[in-house]
Structure 1
Amino acid sequence: MNGGGMLVPDMVTAVVARQPDAVAVEAAGMNLTYRQLDDAATALAAVLRARGVGPETCVAVCFERSPALVVAMLAVLKAGGFYVALDPEYPATRLDLMTDQARAVVVVGDRPSASRLPDTLGIPIVVVDDNGRADIPSVERGTASEVRPGHTAYVVYTSGSTGTPKAVVVPHSALRWFVTNMAYADPGPRDVIALASSPSFDALAFECWTALCHGARLRVVPRSVLLSPQSLTTVLRGVTMMYVTAALLQQLAMEAPEFAAGLRVLFFGGQRADFRAVSLVRKESAPARLIQVYGPTETTIWSSHQTVDFTIPADWIPLGTPIAGSTEYLLDEWLRPVAAGGRGEIYLGGDGVARGYLDRPDLTAERFLPDPFRPDRAGALMYRTGDLARLRDDGAMEFLGRADGQVKIRGFRIELGEIELALATHPAVATVVVTAAETAGGTQLIAHYVPVSGVRPPDAQRLRQYLADRLPLYSVPGFFQSWTRIPLAPNGKIDRGALAPALTPDGRIDRRALGARRRSPDNETLIQQRN
């Protein structure tokens, strides 16, 4: 399907005209057809326009995953505004910050989610029912203001390295680019796509708009089900397409590797994927295609794809091929392309590059740079990802980790991702995350790992020796901690905050607190310090 010059709301309208009685969204106990979805969104859009919503006007939507969430997002775009999705589980201070920075003029939410909103928001709240209909008198529909490709479609907040979240501004043109260039997955009316991402995670835009623009069906996966592998397997029966983070894929591979049985396409990404976990899912679930996707929020959901080829012996998955209209560069510190065998930082350009960060011109200028490789396109930008990769001799890129995951210990620069890659090759290690903790004794490296199912956690001394045979001694962690499950954040990525060790009053790692984790039902700890 090609949307031509149409924007996303127009593409959805075209699908409604073609298949009005097809199911658009399904959840436990209820379905919305495309006609019902469109009617509810059109009515809610009129309510929003009556409250001043138009181009470059923000509406905050606050829901758990539900049909009403889909109605609200579509209504905002129909009204001509842009949305920011609030996770109702977020603390009040975070919700306050997001609505204030985005200058939201109204919040739309269902009754349970709206009840969690702080009283300090200071903007009107429109409460809708399970079908996305507002419980207020009808209003004149009016005429939507003209929306242009450069207008904002949505903003997504990402974590900042300084601790301050950043709002990425995604224009309609970038969202249109993404949904109209999916030949590598070929979504269509026969597909059932899982709506499984956190409302505040940009993968939700993939799930929602891919389905609605291609005439597919969305199936809502509740938060509680996503955290229960056995329940998830049941809910996914009949689903043909799904996205999971690499961290969640790894967890599911250990606990319920059959979860993806019947899927036509399983997308995974967000972090480096463990090839053994991917292989196990393929063996136990046999989805027709496993596609690794790569690209940060700043380049609109993702910008490259790699179908996993199991006929080629490998223990890693290359970053893959840029989506049509996207470009991918591996550059050195002087912005020169690296040669085969060299390392560099990944820069992404093309039609999916976002406008920048909301009200952060300094940070926008630092991360969104003029693209020197597109002299034919005035004003073209490329985004500096902060991700490091190695260019293999065959031209494929091997992801190494984050540039900001580099630490300095006793004058040596150490890449945490390189330690993770090395320890992940140990036959008894299923998952590994390396963190650095600032203590009174200096920076300490901690290797957090999950042993292969049914295997006793390896002795820390053996793991230490295994790494010492492969890495310089200054790169070998001083602490090794075994978990039954690496903690994940609501967006499905690794919760690094939960991995941070407690410190004693004199600023050293508290072994007693770490030992308490051993008694937790969710994990166990084996920790030893290098002499």
Structure 2
Amino acid sequence: MAVTILSVFKAGGICAPIDPAHPRGRILEIVDTVQIKVAVASKQSAGVLRRLFNSIIEVENPQPSSDKTGLPERIRKRVQPANIAYLLFTSGSTGKLKGVLISHSAFSTSIVHHGPAFGASPEWRTLQVAAHTFDISMTEFCTTLAFGGRICVPFEAHRTNKLAAAITALNVNVALVVPTVANLIPPEQAPTLKTLVLGREPVTKETISRWANPLNLTAGYGPSETAVYCSGNLNASVDAHPADIGRLIEGTMWIVNANNHHRLVAIGCTSWEWIFQ
């Protein structure tokens, strides 16, 4: 999957992940909405996608070869920063599918800033556990690789039933996960884990108490439109408030009136509207 994503990026295409396990109606809605013509899929998934695309490219894991016969010497299209890198669908607040388009420049800018904030380095051995249709998976892949780290992909059976054992076996030291997944892992059974970044779900006091002492804990925040992460409560302590999303990572944030985004709300008030720059 990592190689496929990077290949699509480099070729100038748009990566729009689809889960073959999703209901047929949802897959059809995405294909029709985006007018996708080409699918890149594993042999196991290709069958589900037949008759939906003009072309399906089946990807396997061939043995490495030095034979370059038939490979193009250079990419014919030069990718520009403004080109779209990936498209993900979210139900948002309406329950109806909403496509979020993220450009190369937006994603790269996010990686350049949230990577150092989270401590990304060549020492990272990142657990790849998020569904490929979930934007956190993009950071598992791309943030890790951008800073020279390694992506650790457990077997499917281990991912769903033996996650702590997989973390130890793969010597994983970084996980970017939702709190629900973090709560399934007993810290004492994952001694190699050193950095944990939470996101996409409300963080609970239980999660903070469980993880703040053993390792470097970050409560991350960001809607999909901000290229995954835009703020974080870095190095959260045991007594950190679960609702504390920290400060914006290399940017400016305003909390504005839900009915008029030109007006700021008073300190202590709440709003569902956010403006980022």
What's the counterpart of residue 253 of structure 2? 328
Structure 1 residues 109, 122: CA separation in 2 closer, same or farther (over 3 Å shift)?
closer
Displacement of 1:328 in angstroms is 1.8
Q: Deviations over 1:482-514 (max 9, x none)?
A: xxxxxxxxxxxxxxxxxxxxxxxxxxxxxxxxx
- Distance in 2, matches of 1:305 and 1:321, equals 6
Instruction: Give the percent of matched residue pairs that are identical in Structure 1 and Structure 2.
Output: 26
Alpha-carbon contact 2:11-2:79 (below 8 Å) kept: no
Alpha-carbon contact 2:140-2:151 (below 8 Å) kept: yes
Equivalent position to 1:305, from 232, 236, 245: 232
Q: How does 1:208-227 map to 2 (within 5 A)?
A: 208-227=141-160
What's the counterpart of residue 207 of structure 2? 277
Alpha-carbon contact 2:255-2:273 (below 8 Å) kept: yes
Alpha-carbon contact 1:71-1:132 (below 8 Å) kept: no
Indicate yes or no: 2:61 matched with 1:130: yes
Q: How does 1:418-457 map to 2 (within 5 A)?
A: none
Displacement of 1:142 in angstroms is 4.8
Structure 1 residues 76, 275: CA separation in 2 closer, same or farther (over 3 Å shift)?
same
Between the two structures, name the one with larger relative contact order (CA 8 Å, sep ≥ 6).
2
Structure 2 counterpart of 1:302, one-letter code: Y
- Distance in 2, matches of 1:147 and 1:156, equals 20
Unaligned runs of at least 5 residues, structure 2: none
Unaligned runs of at least 5 residues, structure 1: 1-68, 351-531
Say which structure is richer in strand: 1
Alpha-carbon contact 1:329-1:346 (below 8 Å) kept: no
What's the counterpart of residue 171 of structure 1? 103
Displacement of 1:331 in angstroms is 1.3
What's the counterpart of residue 159 of structure 1? 91
Displacement of 1:84 in angstroms is 0.6
Corresponding pairs, count:
268
What's the counterpart of residue 199 of structure 1? 132
Structure 1 counterpart of 2:260, one-letter code: W
Structure 2 counterpart of 1:274, one-letter code: T
Displacement of 1:160 in angstroms is 4.3
Equivalent position to 1:183, from 112, 116, 139: 116
Structure 1 residues 143, 248: CA separation in 2 closer, same or farther (over 3 Å shift)?
closer
- Distance in 2, matches of 1:131 and 1:278, equals 43
- Distance in 2, matches of 1:131 and 1:90, equals 28
Q: How does 1:333-482 map to 2 (within 5 A)?
A: 333-335=259-261, 336-350=263-277
Displacement of 1:315 in angstroms is 4.7
Q: TM-score scaled to structure 1, two decimals?
A: 0.48
Q: Deviations over 1:171-218 (max 9, x none)?
A: 011111011112212211111111111010000110100121111110
What's the counterpart of residue 182 of structure 2? 249
Q: Deviations over 1:73-109 (max 9, x none)?
A: 1111111111111112112222222223222231111
- Secondary structure in 2 aligned to 1:104? coil
Structure 2 counterpart of 1:111, one-letter code: K
Structure 2 counterpart of 1:197, one-letter code: A
- Distance in 2, matches of 1:315 and 1:180, equals 27
Computed over aligned residues only, the root mean square deviation of the Cα atoms, in angstroms, reads: 2.2
Equivalent position to 1:267, from 181, 191, 197: 197
- Secondary structure in 2 aligned to 1:116? helix
**Larger deviation: 331-340 or 299-308?**
331-340
Alpha-carbon contact 1:233-1:258 (below 8 Å) kept: no
Q: Name which one, 1 or 2, has greater alpha-carbon Rg.
A: 1
Q: Deviations over 1:108-135 (max 9, x none)?
A: 1110111222x330321011112599xx
Indicate yes or no: 2:30 matched with 1:98: yes
- Secondary structure in 2 aligned to 1:164? coil
Displacement of 1:308 in angstroms is 4.4
Q: Deviations over 1:421-474 (max 9, x none)?
A: xxxxxxxxxxxxxxxxxxxxxxxxxxxxxxxxxxxxxxxxxxxxxxxxxxxxxx
Structure 1 counterpart of 2:205, one-letter code: F
- Distance in 1, matches of 2:91 and 2:63, equals 30
- Secondary structure in 2 aligned to 1:293? strand
